Amino acid sequence: MKAISLLQPWASLIFLGYKHYETRSWNTSYRGDLAIHASLGKPAEARRIAATCPEISAILERHGLTFDTLPRGAVLGTCELADTHKTDDLRGLSITELACGDYGPGRYAWRLIAPFVCAKPVPCKGALSLWVVPEEVEQEVNATTLPF
């Protein structure tokens, strides 16, 4: 199974039902199952956004979460990478969706559908770009995912 690592809070926002696109500076021809990994990092900019962006901070508060309580270093669940779009071509996204990504010119929005959340995060080391989940982690993820 392929995976992608995301910083928090963006990884969790997929499984909370608010983030339907992952924005990247690069496109991919890959389509299919995709594990979402929450990376270990706690960059100051991500912390600032989680605390000060009204849409994101309200979501975290609504779910009893803070930047520091979000899971890291683990696969949170799976979804399907359905397609990709140039961000320049997307219209009608909600304010919340726009807050959940970088929709600047020349970027790509990967449409994520059918999320399945792990009953509990599955510890795993992440990587850059698309990467392959180790077999033992994939088995644990598949055994514990629940429909969103």
Q: What is the pLDDT of residues 119-136, one digit of tens each?
A: 999 999 999 999 999 999
Q: How confident is the model at residue 7 (pLDDT cuts 50, 70, 90)?
A: very high
**Residue 144 pLDDT greater than 90, yes or no:** no
CB 49 within 8 A of CB 43: no
Which pLDDT belongs to residue 148? 60
Task: Could you list the beta-strand ranges (E) of the chain.
Answer: 2-6, 21-24, 32-38, 74-86, 108-123, 131-132, 145-147
- How do the domains of the chain map onto residue ranges? 2-147
pLDDT digits (tens, 9 = 90+) for 18-66: 999 999 999 999 999 999 999 999 999 999 999 999 999 999 999 999 9
The average pLDDT across 135-139 equals 95
pLDDT digits (tens, 9 = 90+) for 72-111: 999 999 999 999 999 999 999 999 999 999 999 999 999 9
The topology (CATH level 3) of 2-147 is 2.30.130
C-alpha–C-alpha distance, residues 145 and 122, integer Å: 10
Which pLDDT belongs to residue 17? 95
CA torsion through residues 44, 47, 51, 52, sign = positive
Residues 6 or more apart in contact with residue 56 via CB below 8 angstroms? 9, 13, 49, 50, 99, 100
C-alpha–C-alpha distance, residues 131 and 14, integer Å: 19
Q: Which residue is listed with tokens 């807050």?
A: 99
CA torsion through residues 31, 79, 124, 11, sign = positive
